[in-house]
Amino acid sequence: MVEAQKEANYDENAIKPYVLPELLKLDNGKDVKNIKDWEQKRRPELIQLFTEQMFGNVPSTVSEAFTVEVQEESQEAMNGTAIRKQIAFVFQDKIRVNVLFYIPKNTPSPPLFIGYNFKGNHTTIADPNVVISDTWRILNPGQNPESSRGDRSSRWPLEKIVAEGYGIATIYYEDVDPDKNDFTDGLHSLFYSENQERPAAGQWGSLAAWAWGMSRVIDYVKTDEALADSKIIAFGHSRLGKATLWAGALDKRIDLIVSNDSGCGGAALSRRKFGETVSVINTSFPHWFNSEFKQYNDKEEDLPIDQHMLIALMAPRPVYIASAEDDTWADPYGEYLSGYHASPVYELYGKKGFKTSIQPETNTPVHTSIGYHKRTGGHDVKDYDWEQFMKFAKMHFNY
């Protein structure tokens, strides 16, 4: 990995000319002229292409039931300003996925951020009541979870988010699918036919499973009286930003989508081959995408899609693309360009996207129907990022 990062191209002038696949042209060559063409024809074509060529399809057996348990609830979280609620999805009595909510008190239907975390719900806040996940214990044998409580709180300014009037739900992503090239555990394992140990050709990889998991959280939210009418903001950083974009494409109950430093396979245009490339990502993380995506290793120009199309699938809902100046591996300019090239779909809806292909200066956010900023610093989630996401959400929800 370190080697691949050293060898990658970071020179804007070394990018070979490329032609992006056309967003507003149907497979049969006809132009997409209006919202109806987009929604009824082009959008479904693109969903199908991303499913078949990249993220993989979800097995049909996946509709199998799961149960929801309320594990814990307190009206006195965050010094009495918030309700803490912890629920668990239990899949076939084998897998528990814990969801941690903080909901501002006395705020009817607050907009709700839903986002995966990398290291366990208990790392997002130093709250001794946060349940430690079973999967976390399995993946971290012999480690005392108490020593990591709150140690990721710099990425999760939960008190500030709640103080601004937002609810937040977070889930440990490895509860849904442990992040390794092994499909014997995690959600995939529940939907195999006999003797199957891996997803079949074309079936879902880990990113699609994480996206699917996010939609199950929304299923629950819609049944919770306090949140059923809340606007839903899906948030994800890096690989979880990729999963969040895919969730946003598939699930229109998500009202606003935030991708932070999502890079290759997320917001960054693949054809630029700047920083991480398709071949590198498929080699380092063969389990993220489906088997079909491997055929585009070093052949990005053969892809029938590129990532501006993924951004366009959010339209007309607001989408935020955040980059970081030193995160060249994720190709900040390629992330901006996806927003720029997705803009014509927003314009079909009479909404504003980006008018120029020139990337905004560092720490100079642009907030239209598409939001973008490149902040100072590296691959991370900072208060600055959250401040922009909340400002953007306020603007769109008149909140």
Residues catalogued as catalytic? 238, 379
Pairing of strands 167-172, 95-104: antiparallel
353: left (phi over 0), alpha (psi -120 to 50) or beta: beta
Quick check: bond before 17 cis, omega within 30? no
Question: Which residue's CB is nearer to ligand GTR, number 255 or number 276?
Answer: 276
C-alpha–C-alpha distance, residues 193 and 180, integer Å = 21
Question: Which residue's CB is nearer to ligand GTR, number 87 or number 243?
Answer: 243
**Least CB distance to ligand GTR at residue 354 (A):** 23
Question: Which residue's CB is nearer to ligand GTR, number 87 or number 281?
Answer: 281
Q: Which distant-in-sequence residues (6+ apart) come within 8 Å of 275 by Cβ?
A: 8, 9, 10, 263, 264, 268, 328, 329, 330, 331, 334
C-alpha–C-alpha distance, residues 88 and 34, integer Å = 43
C-alpha–C-alpha distance, residues 397 and 36, integer Å = 25
Residue 193: CB atoms within 10 A of its CB come to 8
**Least CB distance to ligand GTR at residue 28 (A):** 34
Q: Pinpoint the alpha helices (H) of the chain.
A: 2-7, 35-37, 43-50, 77-80, 134-139, 158-163, 173-176, 206-221, 239-250, 278-284, 307-312, 332-348, 383-397
Question: Which residue's CB is nearer to ligand GTR, number 221 or number 269?
Answer: 269
CB 98 within 8 A of CB 85: no
Pair of tokens at residue 142? 């012999």
Question: Which residue's CB is nearer to ligand GTR, number 133 or number 277?
Answer: 277
**Least CB distance to ligand GTR at residue 262 (A):** 7
**Least CB distance to ligand GTR at residue 61 (A):** 29
Question: Which residue's CB is nearer to ligand GTR, number 238 or number 359?
Answer: 238
**Least CB distance to ligand GTR at residue 238 (A):** 3
User: Beta-strand (E) ranges in the chain?
Assistant: 66-76, 82-91, 95-104, 112-117, 167-172, 232-237, 256-260, 319-324, 366-367, 370-375
Pair of tokens at residue 258? 């935030």
Question: Which residue's CB is nearer to ligand GTR, number 25 or number 294?
Answer: 294
Question: Which residue's CB is nearer to ligand GTR, number 360 or number 378?
Answer: 378
Residue 56's H or E segment, with its range, is none
C-alpha–C-alpha distance, residues 182 and 312, integer Å = 32
**Least CB distance to ligand GTR at residue 192 (A):** 26
Pair of tokens at residue 327? 């995160």
Pairing of strands 256-260, 319-324: parallel
Read off the amino acid at residue 345.
Answer: V
Q: How far is CA 25 from the centre of its chain?
A: 27
Pair of tokens at residue 13? 């002038």
Residues binding ligand GTR (CB under 6 A) = 238-239, 263-264, 276, 281, 284
